[in-house]
Amino acid sequence: MSRQKSFRFSESKKMDNIIELGKPGYLSRAGTWNSEFFENPNPIVLEIACGKGEYSHGLAKQFPDSNFVGMDIKGARIYVGAKDSEDEGLKNAGFLRGKIENLRTFFGWREVSEIWITFPDPRPKERDEKRRLTYARFLRLYQHILKEDGFLHLKTDNKELMEFTINSVLEFGGEILVQTNDLYQSEWRHQHYGIKTYFENKFTAKGFSIHYLRFRLPVLPQELEPVPPIYLRGIPMVES
């Protein structure tokens, strides 16, 4: 492990805005974000596979009346957004280290108002289709934690992932609310709050256009079955 990673892992253990294995409430967080973490009733916005948490941190600065959670498996990455938020005194930004497959371990039934999926790994190989974050099994997880009027955002430079997501959402019975293959040349360019992720800056510098999709999933009429214990085995037990 590099010296920088080791430092970040060590510091993360001391930070109140990072939730990770070994800290109180890690496996009992679902349904308690408003009451126990943010201590307010404001809407919760989740950024999954958040990397360095640029959106969670940036949106928290611009929207103090909402709460933001950046989630990623890479502890050294979420440290960056968490540290920026801590340094700026943001009380409405939190960061969670965990796997997307365990989403229902961490968020309760209809607990989240919006979900951002920002530049996920497109998993271009056909055999990796089920690992794409807009595959049906992931949509079902999002459907469980989203409020009835909740919706999702996808930003990507990958045309194939954009097309896959549209088909996946429609096959799932969802609704496309906004769709553009060139975000910053579209009428929606001002609705992204001047926030760009590390990867987005790399892609736009190379001349890639940015695809954006806003969509809604069918309302789940009742809670899914309790989380199977096998999901808990996917929670990282060691730092990496």
Q: Which residues belong to the active site?
A: 121
Contact (Cβ atoms closer than 8 angstroms) between residue 184 and residue 105:
no
CB 51 within 8 A of CB 199: yes
For the chain, what's the residue count?
A: 240
Q: Which residues of 6-39 are buried (b: 16+ CB within 10 A; e: fewer)?
A: eebbeebeebebbbbeeeeebeebbeebeeebbe
Which residues is 18 bridged to in the sheet?
95
Distance CA 49, CA 106 (A): 14
Please state, in angstroms and rounded to a whole number, the distance separating the CA atoms of residues 169 and 195.
Answer: 25
**DSSP string covering 108-138:** -TT-EEEEEEES-----SGGGGGGSTTSHHH
Q: Which residue has the tokens 């371990």?
A: 105
- Tokens 């997880």, located at residue: 141
- Please state whether 71 falls in left (phi above 0), alpha (psi between -120 and 50) or beta: beta
